[in-house]
Homo-oligomer: A and B are copies of this chain.
Amino acid sequence: MTPTPLRKDAARNWDQIVAVGRALVDQGTPLQLNDVARRAGIGVGTVYRHFASPEALLETVATPCLEALAAHGEQALADPDPWRALEGFLTRTVEAQVGDASLAPVTAAAEDVLPRTTELKSLLWSSGTTLLDRARAAGTVRPDLAAGDLVPLMCGIAYAVQVHGGAPAERIDTARRYLATLLGGLRVTPPGA
C-alpha cells in the first residue's frame, strides 16, 4: 500500500508540516503553504513537494477525524432502532464538524485531491444514506428528504453555528440546539409513538 516508505528526514518533515497545519487550522488561520513552511522551519519547496496545494494539507489534517466518523457510521448501522441510529449519526457528525475546523471545508467540497479523502467520504455518505433509508422505511422521517440532502443539511448546520459565532464551548451548545430543531423537523412520528 505504501509505494515508497519515505526517507527518515522526509517523514520527520511530513509530520512537522501536518502538525503545523493542524495548529493553524485549530486557531482558525487559513492555510498558506508558504506560511506553513516558515512556521515549521522548513523550506518552502519541501512543503510544496509533500502537499501540492493547501487543500491537500487540509485533507490530510482532517483525515483522522474523518476516519473516526466513518468508523462510527458503520457501527451505527448495528443499532436496531432506525431513528436513534440516524439521530446519533447526525449528532456525532455535526459535533465533529463544529469541533474540528478542518472538517467543514472538506465535507462541503465537491472535489477532493486525496484519494483517501474520497474513499472516506464515500464510506461516510454510504452509511448515512443507509441510515436515512432505514428510517424512512420505518416511517420516522419526512418522505421528501433524499439521501443527497444529508450532507448539505449537516454542512448547513455547521455553517449556521459558525455564523452565530461565540466561544467553542458555546458553539457546541448552539450546534446541539440547531440540530435538535432540525431533527424535530425531520421526524414524522413523535418519539413516544
Q: Which chain A residues have a beta carbon within 8 Å of chain B's beta carbons?
A: 108, 110, 142, 144-145, 148-149, 151-153, 155-157, 159-161, 163-165, 174, 177-178, 180-186
Instruction: Judge whether A160 and B155 touch: CB under 8 Å.
Output: yes
Oligomer: number of copies: 2
Asked if B110 and A181 sit within 8 Å, CB to CB, the answer is no
Q: Are A149 and B178 in contact (CB under 8 A)?
A: yes
Q: Are B163 and A152 in contact (CB under 8 A)?
A: yes
Within the assembled complex, what's the spacing in Å between the Cα atoms of A177 and B110?
A: 21
Query: Are the C-beta atoms of B155 and A159 separated by less than 8 Å?
Result: yes
> Is the Cβ of B185 less than 8 Å from the Cβ of A145?
no
Q: Which residues of chain B are within 8 angstroms of A160 by Cβ–Cβ distance?
A: 152-153, 155-156, 159
In the complex, the answer to whether B161 meets A152 with C-beta atoms within 8 Å is: yes
Of B156, B164, B165, the residue contacting A157 (CB under 8 A) is B156
Q: How far is the CA of A82 from the CA of B149 in the complex (A)?
A: 29
* Chain A to chain B: the 4 pairs with minimum beta-carbon distance, closest first: A156-B160, A185-B185, A184-B185, A152-B164
For A184, the chain B residues whose CB sits under 8 A away are 142, 184-186
Asked whether A163 and B181 contact (CB < 8 A) given A156-B157, A157-B156, the answer is no
A104 to B3, CA, bound (A): 45
Report 28 cross-chain contacts, Cβ distance below 8 Å, ordered by A residue.
A108-B163, A142-B184, A144-B180, A145-B181, A149-B164, A149-B174, A149-B177, A149-B178, A151-B163, A152-B160, A152-B164, A153-B160, A153-B178, A153-B181, A155-B160, A156-B159, A156-B160, A156-B161, A156-B163, A156-B178, A159-B160, A180-B185, A181-B185, A182-B182, A184-B184, A184-B185, A184-B186, A185-B185
